[in-house]
Amino acid sequence: MRPTPPARRFDPGRRDRIIDVTLEVVAAHGVAGTSHRKIAEAANVPLGSMTYHFTGMDELLTLAFTRLADRFADRFDARLRAAADAEQAQEAVVALITEDLLGSPRDVVLTYELYTLAARDPALREVTRAWMARSRQALQRHFDPATARYLDALIEGLAIHSALDPDPMSIDDITAAISRIIST
Amino acid sequence: MRPTPPARRFDPGRRDRIIDVTLEVVAAHGVAGTSHRKIAEAANVPLGSMTYHFTGMDELLTLAFTRLADRFADRFDARLRAAADAEQAQEAVVALITEDLLGSPRDVVLTYELYTLAARDPALREVTRAWMARSRQALQRHFDPATARYLDALIEGLAIHSALDPDPMSIDDITAAISRIIST
Amino acid sequence: MRPTPPARRFDPGRRDRIIDVTLEVVAAHGVAGTSHRKIAEAANVPLGSMTYHFTGMDELLTLAFTRLADRFADRFDARLRAAADAEQAQEAVVALITEDLLGSPRDVVLTYELYTLAARDPALREVTRAWMARSRQALQRHFDPATARYLDALIEGLAIHSALDPDPMSIDDITAAISRIIST
Amino acid sequence: MRPTPPARRFDPGRRDRIIDVTLEVVAAHGVAGTSHRKIAEAANVPLGSMTYHFTGMDELLTLAFTRLADRFADRFDARLRAAADAEQAQEAVVALITEDLLGSPRDVVLTYELYTLAARDPALREVTRAWMARSRQALQRHFDPATARYLDALIEGLAIHSALDPDPMSIDDITAAISRIIST
DNA sequence: AATGAATGAGTATTCATTCAT
DNA sequence: TATGAATGAATACTCATTCAT
């Protein structure tokens, strides 16, 4: 009896899958607790495959967070694109905070991890920069540039504080805060 | 020739010093890159001393970030305590953002590291909770509770976006955004 | 849109080029730091091409060092062939040491790498043996066999010591040493 | 039954032993084939012990080869110190080549490995430099400085060629070559 | 005939923690 | 009380080689 052959797998899209799995591992263990081993195991891929497809952890994290930011920005964009007027836009922003940003603890955690990396790594700061730029662009569909910028900052702050606060703000509070920042 | 003595140093305040040095190491290498070894070396303390004084990294990080948050809150408090009226309070908030929060890249980085840990660890979430509570308390010297809360969130968002943005907001912009949120 | 073609390159002389590039990689990184990957990259050749053309690193190194030794021996031969008498032969030997052997740090390094391999591997010891034989043959155009042999050894020693010595011998010293060994 | 405890060993002189074992491993496998693992195994020491005692492979190799060169130089010195006159000194040199340098294939191999490293690494070039300096100093007990230098180079060449040559020189040949270089 | 993808063994190194002194 | 030495588990990464295409 020969041992089972090493089971060379035909696995297109493997690279792509690894990138997605990376975000899951980071969400579960933090960047600090993320390793090639954990990702490889979660993706059901041999360890050697990791450094075959990516030059190192840095590249992998950059790719993964770029994907994350793109998805956030897409959702942001879609919400505001669907709003017909300023009033609907305001509702869209509230929904965005309460549903998109706070709805998934996973995403909250990942956002912080991204900011922490971005504070050190220019490559990831570029990712956050592009994300912010797209957000403001989306807001400018309905608000003037200055308001868009203030609003973007407020959204950020509301999301963070709501996430960290054991007694988070109500939707009414969030709506009220937003009303103030867009009143010109 | 006698061998060098065992160098039993009289070193009161060692425990304290280690806690402070921990923040420096985290600022320099991130939580992900922080280790007992690096801290011990930076504090000029034998490695064995680390696990002698602290049960592990978790305790050490909690102590260090508690100290950090206390210092931030103290400064916040002092600024608002010094303000005589709402107008001065607004100026104090602007100064707080531009000088305290954005003045030191070290502090920006450490704040993110703290949030990232807090998102996972209840002990550190308590640290951020207490910090937020003190901030709002300080703001309530001059603003009603709801405004204090909105303002606190806006401060957070302005600080984050300004730190990550290669083209950060001007002081005028920051002032304008704050004006809107406190207009009742 | 068709996918990019498989880039089947018409590349005659590829095998040859790989052998030459191998010497460059060894010169740059040492035998210890040489790998199929580095050679493939330096030769602009797919990794799979390495084990397609050569059975393994041993074969590749043997081929490369054989080529190196042949080139050295050719130069040695040419120099002594050009000498008309014993006096010119002596000058040729001095030039050989100072110009051929010491002129290029690359060649000095490669020579040691070869000796180190030869000390272990009979295939490469055959390479050094043949090289030595050709050197002596060339010297015997002008000197008796015993002198040729002594001279060959002295050349070796002068080259090594001059290469490793931060304060290497002058040409006059080299000439004087050679004069002594050929005086019968 | 508890599993046997991890058997923390009291092992003074371990650091020293590792350095010696390193030379054995290099002699057996070459620098290219030497790894922390092999050394640790040969020294009967856990892998983690290697990088505890040494910053890395470089430091370890430097220490090991320094020790090797010192031993060679000691023997060289002893031989020439024991010679009463120039004639005995000449005999000492012959014995040195035939017994010390060629007597042990291990030492021949190690010498090449050292030269190969020295060609790249200044730290190891300093080791060879110091060794050469001591050799010449020893020779100057009996010969003038220029002769000492030529003789040192000839010794080197005779040793290398004899080691690589399947038909090495006889003692008479070696003696004759040396006679020529010291005849003034 | 040629190669890109794949993989398990192996590399150096870092690490938190233990414990004899 | 304090610590230097020790250690096994874990880290990222490199590698020669295989093989389906």
Would you say residue D17 lies in a domain?
A: yes
pLDDT, residue C72, reads: 95
Residue C135 lies in a domain: yes
Q: Does B165 touch chain A (CB under 8 A)?
A: yes
* Separation of alpha carbons B45 and A106, rounded Å: 38
Instruction: Flag whether the pTM goes above 0.75.
Output: yes
- CATH code of the domain containing A43: 1.10.10.60
Closest to D115 measured CA to CA, from D104, D127, D105: D127
Q: What is the mean pLDDT of residues A69-84?
A: 96
Residue B14 has a pLDDT of 84
User: Would C61 be classed as within a structural domain?
Assistant: no
Q: Looking at per-residue confidence, does B4 or A69 come out higher?
A: A69
- Tens of pLDDT along chain D (184 residues) come to 333 444 555 677 889 999 999 999 999 999 999 999 999 999 999 998 998 899 999 999 999 999 999 999 999 999 999 999 999 999 999 999 999 988 888 998 999 999 999 999 999 999 999 999 999 999 999 999 999 999 999 999 999 999 999 999 999 999 999 999 998 7
Instruction: Name the band, by pLDDT with cuts 50, 70 and 90, for residue A2.
Output: very low
Which of C112, C146, C173 comes nearest D149 by C-beta? C173
Query: Helices in chain B by DSSP H: which ranges?
Result: 14-29, 36-42, 47-53, 57-82, 86-95, 102-103, 105-118, 122-139, 145-164, 171-182
**Residues C40, C126 within the same domain:** no
Chain E: positions less than 7 Å from a protein CB are 2-21
Report if CB D53 to strand E is under 7 Å. Answer: no
Report CB contact under 8 Å: D164, C125. Answer: yes
> Among chain D residues 10 through 29, which have CB within 7 angstroms of nucleic chain E?
10
pLDDT band at C5 (very low <50, low <70, confident <90, very high): very low
Proximity of residue C18 CB to strand E below 7 A: no
* Domain co-membership, D31 together with D98: no
> Would you say the C-beta of B56 is within 7 Å of strand E?
yes
Long-range (24+ apart) CB contacts under 8 A made by C85-89 are C85/C142, C86/C142, C86/C143, C86/C182, C89/C139, C89/C141, C89/C142, C89/C143
User: What pLDDT score was predicted for residue B4?
Assistant: 39
pLDDT reported for residue A103? 87
* Closest chain B C-alpha to A113 CA, distance in angstroms: 6
Decide if D156 contacts D99 (C-beta within 8 A): no
Residues A168 and A77 in one domain: yes
Question: In this structure, are A88 and A170 located in the same domain?
Answer: yes
pLDDT beyond 80 at A161: yes
D81 touches strand E (CB under 7 A): no
* HSE-CB for C116 with a 13 A CA cutoff: 29
Chains in contact with B, where contact requires at least 3 CB pairs less than 8 Å apart: A
The verdict on A78 and A35 lying in the same domain is no
A57 touches strand F (CB under 7 A): yes
Q: Provide φ and ψ at D140, rounded to 5°.
A: -70, -10
Domain that holds residue C20: 11-54
Alpha-carbon distance D83 to nearest alpha carbon in chain C (angstroms) = 23
pLDDT bracket for residue C7 (50, 70, 90): very low
What does the block give as tokens for D41? 């195994």
Q: Are residues B74 and B146 in the same domain?
A: yes
Same domain, A110 and A34: no
> Taking 90 as the threshold, does the pLDDT of residue A84 lie above it?
yes
Note the CA–C1' distance, A37 to F10, in angstroms.
Answer: 10
**Residues 72..111 of C with a Cβ closer than 8 Å to D: which?**
105, 108-109
pLDDT for C103 equals 87
Q: For residues C2 and D171, which has the higher predicted lDDT (pLDDT)?
A: D171
Give dist(CA C146, CA B81) in Å, integer: 100
Between chains, do B120 and A132 touch, taking CB under 8 Å as contact? no
Q: Would the pLDDT of B3 be above 70?
A: no
Residues B104 and B31 in one domain: no
The structure tokens listed for D125 are 């070039």
Tens-place pLDDT, residues C39-48: 999 999 999 9
Q: Which residues of A touch B128 (CB under 8 A)?
A: 164
Q: Is D154 on the interface with C (CB under 8 A)?
A: yes
Instruction: For chains B and A, tell me whether 3 or more CB atom pairs sit within 8 A of each other.
Output: yes
The per-residue pLDDT for range B36-60, each reduced to its tens digit, is 999 999 999 999 899 999 999 999 9
CA-to-CA distance for A50 and C174, rounded, in angstroms? 56
Q: How many domains does chain A have?
A: 2
Please report the pLDDT score of residue D6 as a whole number: 46
Residue A1 within a domain: no
Cα atoms in the 13 Å half-sphere on the side-chain side of A150: 26
The pLDDT-based confidence of A5 (bands split at 50, 70, 90) is very low
Please report whether residue A40 resides in a domain: yes
CB spacing of A161 vs B154 below 8 angstroms: no
Of A10-19, B124-133, D91-100, the range with the lowest mean pLDDT is A10-19
**Does B72 lie in the same domain as B50?**
no
A52 sits within 7 Å of strand E by its CB: yes
Subunit contact A180:B181, Cβ cutoff 8 A? yes
What Å value separates CA A49 and C1' E6?
7
- Spacing of A48 CA from F14 C1' in Å: 9
Same domain? D72 vs D42: no
Helices (H), ranges, B140-170 = 145-164
C36 and C113 fall within a common domain = no
Structural domain contains residue B171: yes
pLDDT tens digits for range C118-170: 999 999 999 999 999 999 999 999 999 999 999 999 999 999 999 999 999 99
DSSP per-residue codes, D69-120: HHHHHHHHHHHHHH--SHHHHHHHHHHIIIIIIHH-HHHHHHHHHHHHHHTT
| Gap from B75 CA to E21 C1', Å | 47
Q: Return positions of chain F under 7 A from a protein CB.
A: 2-21
Asked, for residue B62, whether it belongs to a domain, the answer is no
Side-chain half-sphere CA neighbours of B35 within 13 A: 6
- pLDDT confidence of residue D7: 53
* A160 within some domain: yes
Q: How confident is the model at residue C13 (pLDDT cuts 50, 70, 90)?
A: confident
Q: What is the CATH number of the domain that holds C137?
A: 1.10.357.10
**Is D172 within 8 Å of chain C by CB?**
no
Higher pLDDT, C115 or A8: C115
Instruction: Say if residue D97 is in the same domain as residue D170.
Output: yes
Contact between residue D179 and residue C152 where contact means Cβ atoms under 8 Å apart: no
Residue-level pLDDT at A7:
53
Residue A8 has pLDDT above 60, yes or no: no
> Which residues touch D69 (CB under 8 Å, ≥6 apart)?
D114, D127, D128, D130, D131
